[in-house]
């Protein structure tokens, strides 16, 4: 690759925050951003996992820190934002990756939609929409707007594009994530802040592993069905989200891109189900 091409994906002027970088996909995206030169802050509730990811990044020559934060608590996000800015410089990239399904909001096979509890529904909407987009965008958007510079990347899901069976609350919440992403993109388009989404297909992680895989590593029935509908006939690997996140983070590479949803799913959405 020529030097000119390399600089398209050079994030050495950027400080990136990954909320939920304690998790499988957020952690992998944090590593990709750091490998592209960004100073990376991992925000989340689990210090042990956050610190472990920081150590991996540092071992690979990157710069990273962990700061505790709850995506559902505005004050905690503000406190983390200010601490990160003081240590690594003002935040120019936000990856909002706290989210996931909840077992109580998953309908058993053939079960009745009318029995889905309000509490389970609210839990999934709170985490994915309020903690996954609204509060982080408000808190980090505030300082990005003041500097007229920022790229916000919300982690939606392929489930937000089509209503997947059984995970009804999660699908509906992620559809709302995509809608709010486009709203914010339009709202801030002339103010230097771009807002996009990445929609992963199926990647085994903490929050969905039991749905996809048995304890012995074999696929569950649902896992088998998903693989059967995925043209690439496999689940995704977390590092396969790295290219999309670095591209969207980079002003040089995607400076005229906002309001988009980048799907990384092995072709799942391209097939009829
Ligand atoms: N794994 C997949 O197949 C898949 C597919 C599509 C979308 N996604 C989305 O990717 C994102 C990352 O999920 P993952 O699959 O890596 O799951 P994960 O469970 O490994 O990671 C999620 C992380 O978010 C953290 N978190 C949860 N609530 C939080 C809160 N209130 N404040 C701060 N951190 C909080 C968790 O502790 C965890 O570390 C989620 O938005 C998920 O919906 C995942």
pLDDT over threshold 90, residue 272: no
d(CA 9, CA 252): 7
Counting ligand 1 atoms within 8 A of each CB, the residue from 69, 74, 97, 197 with the most, and so the one to mutate, is 97
Q: Establish how many alpha carbons lie within 13 A of residue 199's alpha carbon, considering only the half-sphere containing its beta carbon.
A: 25
Whole-Å CA distances, 98 to 14, 50, 134, 141, 195:
21, 13, 12, 17, 16
Measured from the CB, is residue 99 less than 6 Å from ligand 1?
yes
Measured from the CB, is residue 150 less than 6 Å from ligand 1?
no
- pLDDT value of position 210: 86
Confidence grade of residue 261 (pLDDT, cut at 50, 70, 90): very high
Tokens for 160, please give them.
């937000």
- pLDDT value of position 103: 87
Closest ligand 1 atom, CA of 236?
3
Q: Are 69 and 116 in contact (CB under 8 A)?
A: no
- Cα 25 to middle of ligand 1, angstroms: 7
pTM metric for this prediction? 0.96
Mean predicted confidence (pLDDT) in 179-205: 97
Catalytic residue positions, numbered: 170
Mean predicted confidence (pLDDT) in 28-42: 98
Please indicate whether residue 217 or residue 78 has the higher confidence score (pLDDT). 78
pLDDT over threshold 70, residue 158: yes
Range from 103-112, 176-185, 198-207 carrying the lowest mean pLDDT: 103-112
Tokens for 231, please give them.
């043209």
Token pair 């950027």: residue: 14
Token pair 């690979």: residue: 60
For residue 203, report the phi and psi dihedrals to the nearest 5 degrees.
-130, 115
Measured from the CB, is residue 157 less than 6 Å from ligand 1?
yes
Measured from the CB, is residue 170 less than 6 Å from ligand 1?
no
- The DSSP result for 181-230, as a single string, is HHHHHHHHGGGTEEEEEEEE-----TTTHHHHB-TTS-B-HHHHHHHHH-
Q: What distance separates the 2 farthest-apart alpha carbons in the chain?
A: 58
Range from 20-34, 210-224, 235-249 carrying the lowest mean pLDDT: 210-224
Domains of the chain: 3-201+236-264 (3.40.50.720)
Mean predicted confidence (pLDDT) in 87-111: 93
d(CA 223, CA 202): 9
Token pair 């899901």: residue: 157
Confidence grade of residue 12 (pLDDT, cut at 50, 70, 90): very high
- pLDDT value of position 232: 97
Average pLDDT, the chain: 95
68 DSSP β-pair partners: 44
263 DSSP β-pair partners: 199
Confidence grade of residue 112 (pLDDT, cut at 50, 70, 90): confident
- pLDDT value of position 208: 85
What count of other Cβ atoms lies within 10 Å of the Cβ of residue 153? 26
Tokens for 66, please give them.
């962990």
- Cα 61 to middle of ligand 1, angstroms: 26
- pLDDT value of position 5: 53
Measured from the CB, is residue 74 less than 6 Å from ligand 1?
no
Write the residue with the smallest CA distance to atom 20 of ligand 1: 23
Residues 81-93 pLDDT 10s: 999 999 999 999 9
Mean predicted confidence (pLDDT) in 245-249: 99
Mean predicted confidence (pLDDT) in 37-50: 98
- Cα 149 to middle of ligand 1, angstroms: 26
Whole-Å CA distances, 125 to 104, 120, 203:
13, 9, 21
- Cα 3 to middle of ligand 1, angstroms: 35
Q: Going by C-beta distance under 8 Å and a sequence separation of 6 or more, which residues neighbour residue 154?
A: 96, 132, 133, 137, 177, 180, 181, 195, 196, 197, 198
For residue 265, report the phi and psi dihedrals to the nearest 5 degrees.
-145, 15
Whole-Å CA distances, 122 to 4, 29, 51:
48, 27, 30
pLDDT over threshold 60, residue 206: yes
Mean predicted confidence (pLDDT) in 64-77: 98
């Amino acid at each position: 690759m020529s030097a000119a091409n390399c600089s398209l994906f050079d994030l050495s002027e950027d400080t990136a925050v990954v909320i939920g970088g304690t998790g499988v996909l957020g952690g992998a995206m944090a590593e990709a951003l750091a490998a592209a030169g960004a100073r990376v802050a991992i925000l989340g509730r689990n210090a042990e996992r956050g610190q472990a990811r920081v150590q991996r990044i540092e071992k690979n020559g990157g710069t990273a820190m962990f700061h505790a934060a709850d995506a559902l608590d505005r004050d905690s996000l503000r406190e983390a934002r200010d601490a990160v800015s003081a240590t690594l410089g003002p935040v120019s990239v936000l990856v909002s990756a706290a989210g996931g399904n909840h077992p109580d909001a998953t309908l058993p096979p053939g079960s009745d939609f009318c029995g889905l509890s309000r509490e389970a529904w609210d839990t999934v909407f709170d985490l994915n929409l309020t903690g996954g987009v609204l509060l982080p965008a408000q808190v980090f958007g505030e300082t990005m707007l003041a500097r007229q510079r920022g790229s916000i990347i919300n982690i939606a899901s392929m489930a937000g594009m089509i209503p997947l069976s059984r995970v009804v609350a999660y699908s509906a919440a992620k559809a709302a994530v995509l809608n709010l992403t486009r709203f914010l993109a339009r709202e801030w388009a002339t103010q230097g802040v771009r807002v996009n989404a990445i929609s992963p297909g199926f990647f085994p992680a903490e929050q969905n592993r039991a749905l996809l895989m048995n304890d012995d590593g074999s696929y569950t029935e649902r896992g088998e069905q998903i693989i059967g509908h995925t043209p690439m006939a496999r689940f995704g690997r977390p590092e396969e989200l790295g290219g999309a996140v670095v591209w969207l983070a980079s002003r040089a590479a995607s400076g005229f891109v906002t309001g988009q949803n980048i799907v990384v799913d092995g072709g799942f959405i391209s097939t009829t189900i």
